Structure 1
Amino acid sequence: MIIAIANEHGAAISKATAADLLLTFSATLVGRGFSQWLVGWVLGWGNAINATTAAALTEAVGWAADAYFCDETQAAA
């Protein structure tokens, strides 16, 4: 996903760079993810909470990557 977002902004990055960026973006969301994981053990609601959290975290990483590459391409112009 990060490589595709970079390509949309005209930036070519390697898988290693994408992995580094993913770790950077994800590090800010670990606390939230951990708390949602704990709540996810609630019977009946656990799967819904886990799915919602996974979707939210994926979207947040995508928007963070988009903002990062938008800033990078504007700085290079």
Structure 2
Amino acid sequence: MYGSSTASTSSPKPAHAASSSSSSSGPTTTLATLGYFCIYNPDFGLTDETQHEQLLYYVARKTVSIDAKMRNIGLAQGLVNFAR
């Protein structure tokens, strides 16, 4: 399983926010969000032609092409192999 998340410690002020120096409230915190979540099994799809069979489940907030999904799986496999 592998997912992508992003986090930020400060966010820009809204366009309607006042820009006076006396009303500074400091940095705000933005919570992390999950960009996509996938489950893959490297035991399936052992050849390049059947590599897409490794993908068991994939969900994202926006539509993602199969090529982008496979790049994400490749990144996850690289991280797992590096950690071994």
Does the pair score TM above 0.5? no
More helix by share: 1
User: What range describes the TM-score normalised by the shorter chain of this pair?
Assistant: 0.3 to 0.5
More strand by share: 2
TM-score, scaled relative to structure 2? 0.31
Greater RCO (CA < 8 Å, at least 6 residues apart): 1
TM-score, scaled relative to structure 1? 0.33
